[in-house]
Structures are given as structure tokens and as C-alpha cells.
Structure 1
């Protein structure tokens, strides 16, 4: 199998000690794939691992300033972090980040030459109305689809953290459509686990793994499934 992007999003799990222990174990895993880990913000450590790229789950679009409760570019620079997730559905839904906010973040971190995982995905209501492709296109219209360090993460909202995965033909149809809009790698996220990763990796450029990434044995299995 060709080189794939395999990313783990720890969300608000693992403290710093647990994160370091996990990363030290993962760093010994040999693979030809590109491995990314997004720890909880307070658990970010120096990005000095051989086989892993660390990224931020979120960051405000400023060098520094009066943004209570947020971190800014200055905090990421301390740890040499230059990879970020923007537009994850939990940021959009729980913290009300609009397409406009996501676009501002994108353009700021584009200027910093970050590797950007830009997340998009439809709700079950939109899926049932057969308007998912139109919706996905609209979500992408606010960013530069030719940005060389862009990775598009397709994550149908109804399949994130629910244990329900989109069917392979549904994933393939959306991935194929997105590839007509951008030459960026298109990865999939949404209840990816050790049982379905192999099939999903066959039809995508990679995967963004949530809950299953918290168990290093499961995540290692997922990485090996990509061989």
C-alpha cells in the first residue's frame, strides 16, 4: 500500500505524563506512513520525535494577545509545532466556530506555512436530504484549495464518536468528489477503528482516528493495517 497519513486525535484525554509515555512507545514503531498525533493542548511537548509529527488541536489566529482561555502562535512556537487541525466538528458545534472563523484561522496559519488538517463534514439531516456534496463544497469555498500544505479531512458529523461508520461506498463517493475540487490529500475520520481501517485506507489518502488512537495497541494495529 502507498504511503498514507495516519493521524491520532487525543481530544481532551491524557495528561502530559501519559502523553509522553504513549509517544515514547509509539516512536519505536517502524512504518513508512506519515504519523501525526494531536495531544490535548496542555499536554503538548517538544516536537522532537523521529517517527511522529505532533500537532495542535486548536489555536487562536494571533501571535499573542488578550484572548483569555486560548493559546496562540507563540505557545506553539515554543514547542516547534507547525501542524494544526482547523474546523473539527466539535470546534464548530460545541464552540460555535463558523466557516468565517475557520477561514480566518486557515489564512493565518497558511501565512505561517503550517501543515493544516482542514475538517469538513455534513450532518445526518444534510445527508438524508442528499445535499452533502453541495454542503462540503461550501465549507471548502472559504479556503485556498491549492495550498501546498493542506490536508482535507472528511468527517461526516453523524459518524464521529458514535460508533457508526459511513459505508465504504459513501466514503468513496465523497472522497472522489473532493478530489475534483483539490489536489490535496483527502483523509477520512469518523469512528475509524482497528476493524475498518484497512478498508478505509484503500480508498483514501489516510485516516484521522479519534477514540481508537487512545489505545496504543489498537493504534499500532491500525498503522500495521495500512501496510
Structure 2
């Protein structure tokens, strides 16, 4: 199982250092990724993989406020999130997401590519068609790809999608790619067992429930 923590806009560098130390002391051979804010990146090496929540598809240049690959290289970061709904909501459209994907692929980075539908699309029963549109611009055979299904209507609400629905959607996505599949959307200690039991679920992308290192560890170590 892959356990990925999206810390979003939380933690200063000193705070993340303590988080990282707690996590590092208590994991062994689990596949764990943590995505801190860029201002909290650490140069130290840990048992988990440190990834970037965001980047601009360029080494450097006149891109005010952006993070180029030169900055990621300084911290040895080669794992990135692309397509998270909160980035899409800020205006990252399909052509730009394709540019980010292609740049990351060119650099051989590990990519977690996020897809997911809003509540209206979900209620209309158009989820599968919507997800197909989100996937059509990327190379689904890229060897370092992981796809994360995150229904927008479940993110940060405390109410996860039902296991049967998650299973149906992950089964569908598995017909499009052989990449590992994650589920994200109010994953927590109460529902992790049901989610882990889903056939085509290879891991989870966790938001709020991962912000406390000890609570994240409870999820990782839950049998």
C-alpha cells in the first residue's frame, strides 16, 4: 500500500522537521510519501519520500511566484502531485496540466496524477465520462505514474465515498491504465480498513487526517 500525505498549506520548515522526525522514527518498509508546502522542504534524507505539491514546467525563468525544477533539484525532489482539484480550482486547465505532466515525464519524475468529479457530475451519473476527459491528455502507460481518484465532493468534508462506489470507479480506471491507483477523499482511521480492502486500491492520498504525524502513523499501521 502507498500512503501519501498532502500537507497542503500547513507547516513551517521547523514544524515540518519535527513532523518528519516523528514519522521517520516509526515507519519501516512502508511506501510513504509526504507533500509539504515548498517553503518547508527539507534537505535531510528520511525513510519517506518528500514530494512537491506544485511546480512550474520549466527549469527556471520569468515566472513570478512559481517553483521550477532547479528549486526541486536542490532538495532532491523527484516526486510531484499534478491535477489536484484545489490547483484546478485556481485555474490549472487541461492544456497546462498536460504541460506539467509532459515536463515531469521528460525529467523521469514520479507523478501522482489526481482526477475527480464535483457533486453535480456525481449526482448526474457522469463520473466515468468526466474522468475519461481528465485522463485523455496524459500518457497512461508512463512507468512512473500513479493515478489518484479524489471525488471533489468528498475532499475535506469528513464524508468519504462508499466503498462500493470507490471500487466501481477504481475498477473502471484500471481498464484505462496499469498504473497503481490511490483513493483520496476524507480518508481517516475509521474508514481505512474498508478502503484498503478494495481490490484495485493500491493506496491512499490523505489530506486532513495526515496533518498530525501520529494520526497519519495510526492509519499507516492499521491492520
Please give the range of the TM-score, normalised by the shorter of the 2 chains. over 0.9
Decide which of 49, 61, 68 is 2:57's aligned counterpart: 61
TM-score under structure 2 length normalisation: 0.97
Specify the alignment match of 2:122 in structure 1. Answer: 127
Q: CA deviation at 1:28?
A: 1.2
1:85 aligns with 2:81: yes
Dislocated runs of 4+, deviation >6 Å: none
8 Å contact from structure 2 (residues 50, 79) kept in 1: yes
- Of 158, 163, 167 in structure 2, the residue corresponding to residue 163 of structure 1 is 158
2:87 and 2:172 map into 1 onto residues whose CA distance is 24
Matches of 1:221 and 1:113, distance apart in 2: 32
Indicate conservation of the 8 Å contact 1:47/1:54, yes or no.
no
Between the aligned partners of 1:31 and 1:105, the Cα distance in structure 2 is 32
- Would you say the 8 A contact 1:11–1:39 is kept in 2? yes
Aligned residues: 221
Aligned to 1:35: 32
What TM-score do you get using the length of structure 1 for normalisation? 0.95
Structure 1 vs Structure 2 CA RMSD? 0.9
Task: Note the alpha carbon deviations across 1:33-79, whole angstroms, 9 max, x for none.
Answer: 20000001100112511x20000000000000000011110000000
Equivalent in the alignment of 2:206:
209
Q: Name the CA distance, whole Å, in 1 between partners of 2:134 and 2:100.
A: 14
SS in 2 for 1:28: helix
Structure 2, unmatched stretches of 5+, are: none
Q: Gapped runs of 5+ residues in structure 1? A: none
TM superposition shift of 1:31: 3.8
Query: For the residues of structure 2 that align with 1:173 and 1:32, how far apart are their CA atoms?
Result: 29
Cα deviation for residue 194 of structure 1 reads 1.1
Spell out, residue by residue over 1:148-168, the C-alpha distance to the aligned partner (whole angstroms, 9 max, x if none): 000000000000111121011
Whether the 8 Å CA contact 1:10–1:211 is kept in 2: the answer is yes
Q: Note if contact 2:80-2:111 (Cα within 8 Å) is conserved in structure 1.
A: yes
The 5-angstrom pairing of residues 137-216 of structure 1 reads: 137-203=132-198, 204-216=201-213
Find the aligned partners of 1:142 and 1:20 in 2 and give their Cα distance.
37
Give CA deviations for 1:99-127 in whole Å, capped at 9, x if unaligned: 11111100000000000000000011001
* Equivalent-residue separation in structure 1 for 2:119 and 2:110 (angstroms): 29
Which of 17, 20, 28 is equivalent to 2:17? 20
The CA distance in 1 between the partners of 2:86 and 2:94, in whole Å, is: 13
> In 2, are the aligned partners of 1:47 and 1:80 still within 8 Å (CA)?
no
